Copies of this chain bind each other. A is one copy, B any other.
């Protein structure tokens, strides 16, 4: 067990993957000598060389498009998109090529490409550096979409994502990069929870609180605060956004009868809607209240000095939890 940051955990996970399989490559803007703007790839170019850890030209479509070509040649590229707001130029290559190539070829082509995206707000950044575009990719068949929430899971998930034969969009909670926790880097990957499974991170009995990425920690804090009001909140870290692990979710809501979903992305047409719809379909007779959603508003991500009002925080999440008891 070592106590490290989430950023460092990813770095160690990438290092393991580079060691385990010489076909694994890292590519992106400033991932080499600089080690990435969040230092997630720090030191990797030094140790694995500039042909395996590649500083690319400044073009996201180029990064994903050439990664696809490298994958066709048998490589396993791990692309870094520097910030969430800069993934959009790569949308066409991701949606029309990366996601569709396998089914287009009737399974004759595999594209084991991972696209790492630091996402979400809360770091006081300028525009385009605090987006949560996950639903774009969750809606796109052929992609696996996951989000890590803590160092230990990040360490395992990035390795699982690289080992997967499917393309994986890997979201990293930017503002949690510096969170520290114990990570057992000796634990065999085979012991890790599968990439498509959700995890109950705080068992509870009265209401189910679903989230992923940066808000998992906020939800845990909310559960703690709720306990003081004598309320037992079960917190689930979804981990996989596509596909959703409905079994774990339904099992919980069936018990609690109440459900709240929290994410930073705008509520409107966000992933919360999908979860609410599915939970309601499966638990129609168990639900004591409608599934409530807490998330970003239907506005562009605001300037840093108002982001605290945009981002769901402990109070807004608790407010929603409380509301589920008013029905």
Contact = CB atoms under 8 A, between A and B. Distances in A.
Contacts of A272: 277
A242 B136 CA distance: 16
A304 interface: no
Contact of A277 (B291, B298, B299): B291
B300 A100 contact: yes
Contacts of A100: 127, 300
A103 interface: yes
B96 A141 contact: no
B91 A96 contact: no
A269 interface: yes
A288 to B, nearest CB: 10
Contacts of A135: 135, 139, 269
Interface in A59-91: 61, 85, 88-89, 91
Contacts of A266: 139, 141
A277 B293 contact: yes
B270 A141 contact: no
B280 A274 contact: no
B99 A300 contact: yes
A148 interface: no
Q: How many copies does the complex hold?
A: 2
B88 A96 contact: yes
Interface residues of A, number: 48
B104 A300 contact: yes
A300 B291 CA distance: 29
B91 A88 contact: yes
A95 interface: yes
A39 interface: no
Given A272-B277, A277-B273, A292-B281, A300 B103 contact: yes
A95 B127 CA distance: 12
A128 interface: yes
A198 interface: no
A323 to B, nearest CB: 10
Contact of A141 (B275, B290, B293, B298): B298
A137 B38 CA distance: 30
Interface of A: 61, 85, 88-89, 91-92, 95-96, 99-100, 103-104, 127-128, 135-136, 138-139, 141-142, 242-243, 265-266, 268-278, 280-281, 284, 289-293, 297-300, 327
